[in-house]
Structures are given as structure tokens and as C-alpha cells.
Structure 1
Amino acid sequence: MAGTKLIGIDVGTTAVKAAVFGPDGTVLDRLHQPHDTQRPESACVEQDARDWTRAIDAALARFTPLMPGVGGIGLTSQVNTHVFVDAEGTPLAPAIVWQDGRAAAEAAELDAQISEAQRLEWWGAPMPIDASHALARMLWMQRHHPEIWDKTRYVLLPKDLCLWHMTGAVVSDPLSNIGLVDLAHRHIPEVLGLVAGAADRMAPLKPLSALAGRVRQGPAQDIPVANGTMDGWVGLLGCGGHREGAASYLSGTSEILGITSEAVHPTPGVIVFAESDGLRMHAGPTQAGGAAQMWWADLNGISPEQMSQRAAASPPDKPAPLFLPHLQGERAPLWNANARGAFLGIDQTSDAADLARSVYEGVAFSVRLLLNALERSAQVQSTELICGGGGFRSDVWNQIRANVLGRTLHRLAVTDPGLLGAAAIARAATGQAPDLASALDELMHIDKTYRPDPALAPLYDAQFAIFEDLTTRLAPVNDRLTALPRPRL
């Protein structure tokens, strides 16, 4: 099967993306189909899971002329998004998206029942149970909608639901089941036992590079489909995280960073994945990257491209407000659902260009906070990162990132590293490459490099120290703000 074409599919937060890759990694055709997100209440973020499967069907139909010679399909998806389905695979309620914070109280209750020693034994790091954890969502559903909970056969991730739709197989993978699986890739009975009935609603586990099955109908019928895994891990893999010591940076709705390292120094806020396919990834997702850009652009009635132009008009040596990009809580390394965004240091000289630049800088500061934690966890000092994702389209923002991080950034030629990583998993799963590293070496290419300006290092070091301090000092203030009663008028 060497030299065959591959299909990569990524069920992302804002869209389903799919591409057909030639044997050398060239994109032969692609589809990008957005889907809606609903926010019925302040803490609730939902999607219609049927939008994902309809988009996959549309992609495979579009690729019909290219199907001859396709040797495998790889699938990845957003993680910590959960769908409650019945025995036929029909969603019983809107999918609860990873940004959703409705289960914060249940998360705190469950988290308090797990000791630090247990966290290290099970996960290799002091990870918390937060509002995006599957168990917290299950407990919330059990308490608030018992009629749905009683009908639920499985609680699935988007990838798992789409695999069922494509192949008829009910299967998941260990890496995507964050906080439910131990370092040996097994479900943790003590964790699942915290919510009655949770263990019975888990999909069986297979390795990420195993075959889930074959497409059962349509233009791709009988093409093998790899099990795949979460978009963060696959995207980091597609960003060069397939070699020991490599640092990778994925930007989309959120910013996701990873360092591949066998060494583990337990560090609060960092996710350490169990070793899989010879790789151990230290990783973490922030809550807002492209989401912060879209928020500011929409607020001002401009496009992201126009926002980038405005930011370029604000010279970096001009004082600009400090922005905390915690628009809907924060994930790694803070894991605080109550964290909130802020502009600090605004004065009468601050203009729209300065505020646009400060949004970009604020996201970069959140990435630096995460990168520092990852380097402690992995015992690796990074000097350069391979980058990819839709959030790296702006040269202005990319240079700000390099300056704030003090690291060289290499941007991938492929816009969607998640698709590239998914295709690489399909290549390995179908025997076209001996392992994931070899599969990636054949597919990835660098597009552009951004180097930090050493003259700006003292300024950004000083600003970052303030940013880091504020994340701690503002925590109790944000707790008080989120606890304020909201009268119904």
C-alpha cells in the first residue's frame, strides 16, 4: 500500500475540516464546513452532533473522484466535548462543548475526593477534575436531567460518534479519555466509581493507531479507518511532536502546546499523556487563542485580517494595556473556570491599534505561562517551536508570539496540522509506514520562520512578570464576580 493517498478528517470546535493528501503530503483537495455553536446560558456551550456527521458525509462525497487509490482515513476531533447517545447512537441532547462550564460545582465536588498521591499514580501529574471533565458532565446530567441519563448508553467524544457513524464500530482511544484512563491505557475503576453508572457508559478502548473498522457505505466504502485520537495530540504530532525533545505549538480556537519527553517532573496544570506509539507528550490547552481574536474583531465589527493590520500600526515600544485573555475561564496551566479577562493600564493615549496589539500579546503571555510549566514538567528547555493551525495566518501576530516567547517559531506549510497528523496515523495504521515518526517525516514541510527581536526581551520579560502575578492576584476577585447573584428581570 506504499505510495497511496490518504484522507485526514478533523472535527474541530468551529468546523469540520477534511483533506485528501498525496503520497508526498501534497493536499489534493479539501473541505472546510463550519458548524454553529449555541450558548443558551452564560456557562453553557453546545453543538448539534449531527452537524459533524453531515459534514463528514459531504466531504467524502466531494472527494469521490479522488477515491481510487485512497489507502486509509484518519480521524481526530475536539476533546472534552461529550455527547450522550442511546443504544442506536442517536444523540439525546446537544453535545456539551469543552468550553462549557456548567459542571463546575460537580467538578469541584469530585476533585476533592481524589488525593495528590492518586493523581500521580494514575496520571503521572497532579491533574485536576475541572468542568470539562467527562465525569463532571456525567454527574451534572445525572442530577439535572435524569431522564436523559437513564436513556444514555454511551458518553462519547465527537471522534467516537463519527467513527460509529462511518464504520458501525463503538470504540474510543486512551489518550482522548483524559482523566478516565491511567498510564497503562486502562479505565480507572476508582475514578469511574465516583459517579454511579459511569463505567457502564464507557466505549471500549483501542490504541490510536489501530484500525477502528472500514467505511460501511458511500463513496469511501470499505476504506480502512484508523481509530485516531484527540485533536490536541494529533495536531501537536502534526506540528513536529514526533521526536524526543521537540516542542510544538498548535493555534486555533485555543492555543495548545506540547513537548515530547520521556522525563516526567510532576508539575501542576500540565497534562502528561501515557506513552503511546513510543511518544510521551507533555501538553496543555489554553482556553482562548483564536477565540480572543474573534471576540475582539467581532466586537469592533472588523475581520481578523483588519485586526492584524491595526495591531501592526501600534509600535511595540509604545505603552499598551496588558490583556488577560480569560474570556471564558482558563484551562492549562491554571484550570480555573472562574478566571476572567481584563485590560489593565488603559489611559487616554490608548487607541484601537494598541488594544488590538494587547489582545495578541495577552494570548502570547498565556502561552508563555503554559510553556514554562511544560518545560518544568518535561525537563526540556525549548529554543524553537514548530507551529501550525489557523491561528498562525497572521505574520504580525506570529512575530508578536516569537517576541513574547523569546523563541524561534517555524510555521508548517500545511495550514491544518490536525489533518496532517490524522493522515499520518492512517498511514501507520494501514502499514504504509513503520511508525508515526516515519509517517510524519514523509509528510511535513516548513513554510516560514519567525525569530524573536532581542531588543524587546527586557520589555516582554517585565510585562510577563506582571501578567503572571495578576493571574494569582485576580483569582479571588473573579471568584467574587462570578458568584454575584443574577436577578431574572
Structure 2
Amino acid sequence: MTKPETLLLGIDIGLSGAKCTFYSDKGRPVAGSHAEYPTTSPHPGWAEQNPDHWWKAVTANIRDCIDRQGVDASAVAAVGVSCSNTIVPVDRDGNVLHNAILLFDQRTGKEVQWVKDEIGEDRIYRITGNRIARGTYSLPTILWLMRNRPDVMKRAWKVLVPSGFIVQRLTDVFSINRSRMSFTLLADLRKGAWDADLARDAGVPLSILPDPYAASAAVGCVTPGAANATGLRAGTPVVAGAMDTVAASFASGAARENTVFLTIGTTVRLCHTTTVARFDKRLMNTANVFGDTWLEIGATNTAGASLRWFRDTLGGAGSSGEKVTYAQLDAAAAASPPGAGGVIFLPYMAGERSPLWNPDAKGVFFGIGLPTTYADMVRAVMEGVSYSVRQLVEIVMTHPDPASTIAISGGVARSPLWCQIIADMLRHPLIQLEAGETETLGAALIAGHGVGLIPDPLPFVDRLVKKGRKYMPVPENAHAYDAYYPIFMKLYKDIAETYSQHAAVQQTA
């Protein structure tokens, strides 16, 4: 009988759904499944999910791979988990005490201001390497729960991020990986440990913070109960995992010093790996998969989400009454010239993170006139997102020894037109990566490293990464974008104060 190949399981808990993919120990995808879950908004500006839905999605995905797609659970050597940024309080048994509060949630304005006034922005930055902001970082959310739901927090045993929640369901061990720990504003980023003085002064008990682990460190093994729920074998090792962006950049070959990686799906994530702990305040900063490097992250909240909004709201319907496809949107945008007929789009449909850090920012179409076409509007959305990418890249590329090429993956990377727009916008070569699920692949490879199957991960990933089409900037297109880019930048500056006034009116309306 032929011995089954060794498998690794990568799990990603995303903002809209969970993905579970089994890979061979050579990095080849063997089976995978995806399940969505809802987001609720109990009040304007709030965004929540029920973490039990994450677990339900994970168990359904794994069962689908084992029961329907024929995965041999006995061949699974290890499990790794990546996740988006969310916080959830649980009791001693891991039961959910309150819905998870998502990174897009904007309820913590008072808590952000309190941290600035009482703890101080300089102190937070000096210790954690990051700024203070709503949603993106956990401390304001924990404070909101302590002040507004004291009944919940009195019962809370730990506060967990999504990967820690899934790891706990699999192993019964409470944990947090060091990359996600970096976004709590309660940890010393350089030491990879909780800062007791910072937690004390913020009023957060150290006891509710889970034990930190390196990405590839084994947290525990699949319990009999989790095995019964998922179909995995009891005793299968589970590692701590990583932030979704960290896992994706690792799987894309961007874990070496001075590599730049761009993934654009629902959001933009621009990643730059460095051995120098410079921690630029305009960016988000985190520990990387390996302890001797750091990851600088720039993020635009609504990239593909902006085009999806346009399609669903203004895109119209095809001849059969169905929604216009993304391929049709691409074809329409191609009919508009670089510069979109003078239409400029500010892609701030859900506030904005780096480098603006303005939760009140909103989307804007500027320059619409009677000659404006549908094609111009579609292309303007693509270009607006690309202008925001240029803004982030200019921050990273001012650092020494800029990378010679920028790798791109994600849903947007499947659009040749959009890739060309970005290359033209940046005046920089762009390499399209063929890997479709870099988060689950990264989580699986981290797990493989943790159990010794992949002892030298960087060369392994270098061999694994498949590079597709290379996009070179077209000079005449780049010239058009150079003319419009300063207007894009000035537009935001000119209306920044108006955003705040608009938000104030909405709150009192």
C-alpha cells in the first residue's frame, strides 16, 4: 500500500469568511473549502461578528475536505491559523461572552482620546511601535468593553484574537501569536512580551491577556472533542500562527530583508520587510514570522470593496438582469483613458487607516461633468485605489535600498488592467504572483516549519513562489498619472476638516 503524502492544514479567519486548505509538505494544494459568515451593525459605525460562526465555518470546511474531498486526516502533520484583526472576550471554557468587534468598528473614539490623554502617544509609540487608533488596535476596544460591558468583562477569562480563538477550540489552550500581539498596544514590540506597566496604567488586568507564542511554536494538540467536531486526528500539533498579512507576505516570498509585497483584495496591504526597527508612525508595524525581521504594513480599508460597492450600487445589470461582472467592469474601464476623463475618486468608503488615520473619511467622486461616461467612473475607482497605493509606496520607497520589483497578489491581481494601472501609477515594475490563497498557504508553511518538516523555510518559499506576468510602466500613462496625483493628494487635504464636520452632523442627526 502506498504511504499517503504528509499534509499541512492552513486556516484563515477573514473578514467575510473562513478558508481551510490542505497542502502537501511541498506546498501543493490538495483540498480546500470556504464558508462565509455575516457581519452585523447594531449601531451606526459598529461592526461585529459571532465567533461561534468562525468555528462553525472551520468545522464545516475541514469536514468537507475530509468527508467529501477525500483528505486523509491521519496524514496531517500540523495545523496553522492566520486571521484578521478582531478581539473577543471568552470565559474559562472558551465560551463567547460578547460578539467580536471588528477592525472597521468605529465606536471607540472616547477610549482612543483617553489613551492619548492619560497614557500618551509618545509612550505608546515608544513601547509598541504603533500609533493609537480605533478598530485597528485592540486596547481601545478592550477599554470600551470594560467601561460599557462590565458584566461581560467580570466574567472574561481571556480576550482572544480570531486565530487564538480557533487554536483554543482545537487545543483548549489560550494563546496569541506575536504578530497579532503587536496590534494590541499592550506589548513591547521589540521584546515580544506584555508590558506590565503599560497594562497597569491602562487599567487592563494582565490576567486576561493570553500567553504569547512565536508564529511556528506549538501551542498544543487537537483534543478528542475538537477531533470529533472537525474530523482531524486527536493529537495533531497546532502552532500559534500569524496575522493574515504576515502569513501572506511569508508565503509570497517577501520575508527577506527589503522585499516589498502588495496584496489587494477587499483591502490594500502593502508590506515591507526590514531588519531595522524604524517603526514609521504612518504605517502599522509588527513582528514578522522570524524574530530577526519586522514588517511595515500600509493599509487602505476599501480597495476591491470600493469596486464591489460601485458594481452593487451603480453598476447596473447585464442583459439577463444579473449583476455586472468584474470582467465587464474591466472592459468598461479599458475604454476610458488614463486619468479617467478627469474624474478622481477618493477611496475612503469606510474611513481610512495608513497613512491618513482618519476614521471620518468618506468616498468622493471629483471632476464629474456632462462628458463623464460610465467607463470613466469605473476607471476612476480603480485609479483612486491605485493613487492610495502610490501614497503608501512613496513612504516605503524613501527608505534605503528600495526593492527592484514589487510583487502583487489578491483578487485585484487577477485584473490585467488594474495591475497595469498600478505599475503606471508607481512608475515601478510589478510582478504578478500566481498563488491564490497566500494566507492559508503561509499558515500551513509556518506549521510545517514548527514541526520540523520545513527546516529552512526561506529557500523553500523561494522555490515555491511562482511568478506570473511582469507589468512594466508605460511612460505616457505614467505622465498622465503624475499630473493627477497631486490633485488627488490635495483633495483630501482640502476637505479633511469637512469630514470631521460631516461626522459631527451625522452623530446629531
Q: Work out whether the TM-score is over 0.5.
A: yes
Which of 252, 262, 280 is the matching residue for 1:239? 252
Match of 1:52 in 2: 54
**Residue 184 of structure 1 contacts residue 274 of structure 1 at CA under 8 Å; is this kept in 2?**
no
Structure 2, unpaired ranges of 5+: 317-323
Q: CA deviation at 1:193?
A: 2.5
1:289 and 2:303 aligned: yes
Which of 49, 66, 72 is the matching residue for 2:71? 66
- For residue 419 of structure 2, give the secondary structure of its aligned residue in structure 1: helix
Q: Following the alignment from structure 2 to structure 1, what is the Cα–Cα distance between the partners of residues 339 and 215? A: 47
- Give the TM-score, by structure 1 length: 0.93
CA distance 1:435–1:122, change in 2 (3 Å): farther
Larger helix fraction of residues: 2
The one-letter amino acid of 1:362's match is G
Match of 1:368 in 2: 390
**Residue 314 of structure 1 contacts residue 354 of structure 1 at CA under 8 Å; is this kept in 2?**
yes
Match of 1:166 in 2: 170
- For residue 113 of structure 1, give the secondary structure of its aligned residue in structure 2: helix
Match of 1:226 in 2: 239
Q: Following the alignment from structure 2 to structure 1, what is the Cα–Cα distance between the partners of residues 441 and 401? A: 25
The one-letter amino acid of 2:209's match is M
**Residue 153 of structure 1 contacts residue 201 of structure 1 at CA under 8 Å; is this kept in 2?**
yes
The one-letter amino acid of 2:256's match is R
Q: Following the alignment from structure 1 to structure 2, what is the Cα–Cα distance between the partners of residues 12 and 270? A: 21
Matches within 5 A, 1:263-412: 263-274=276-287, 276-277=289-290, 278-300=292-314, 301=316, 302-316=324-338, 319-376=341-398, 378-412=399-433
Structure 1, unpaired ranges of 5+: none
- Sequence identity percentage: 28
Single out whichever of 364-373 and 193-202 deviates more from structure 2: 193-202
Single out whichever of 422-431 and 395-404 deviates more from structure 2: 395-404
**Residue 37 of structure 1 contacts residue 45 of structure 1 at CA under 8 Å; is this kept in 2?**
yes
- For residue 372 of structure 1, give the secondary structure of its aligned residue in structure 2: helix
For the aligned residue pairs, the C-alpha RMSD in angstroms reads: 2.2
CA distance 1:276–1:414, change in 2 (3 Å): closer
Q: CA deviation at 1:487?
A: 5.6
1:153 and 2:157 aligned: yes
1:121 and 2:143 aligned: no
Match of 1:470 in 2: 491
**Residue 131 of structure 1 contacts residue 337 of structure 1 at CA under 8 Å; is this kept in 2?**
no
Which of 471, 476, 484 is the matching residue for 1:450? 471
1:136 and 2:140 aligned: yes
- For residue 63 of structure 1, give the secondary structure of its aligned residue in structure 2: helix
Q: Following the alignment from structure 1 to structure 2, what is the Cα–Cα distance between the partners of residues 27 and 275? A: 24
**Residue 252 of structure 2 contacts residue 461 of structure 2 at CA under 8 Å; is this kept in 1?**
no
**Residue 242 of structure 1 contacts residue 440 of structure 1 at CA under 8 Å; is this kept in 2?**
no
The one-letter amino acid of 1:72's match is A
Q: Following the alignment from structure 1 to structure 2, what is the Cα–Cα distance between the partners of residues 451 and 115? A: 45
CA distance 1:61–1:106, change in 2 (3 Å): same
1:209 and 2:251 aligned: no
Q: CA deviation at 1:432?
A: 1.1
Q: CA deviation at 1:386?
A: 1.3
- For residue 379 of structure 1, give the secondary structure of its aligned residue in structure 2: coil
Q: Following the alignment from structure 2 to structure 1, what is the Cα–Cα distance between the partners of residues 245 and 116? A: 23
Query: Deviations 1:387-416 (Å, cap 9, x if unpaired)?
Result: 222332222222212221222222222211
CA distance 1:265–1:461, change in 2 (3 Å): farther
The one-letter amino acid of 2:495's match is L
**Residue 246 of structure 2 contacts residue 288 of structure 2 at CA under 8 Å; is this kept in 1?**
no
**Residue 248 of structure 1 contacts residue 385 of structure 1 at CA under 8 Å; is this kept in 2?**
yes
Match of 1:42 in 2: 44
Match of 1:191 in 2: 198
Match of 1:75 in 2: 81
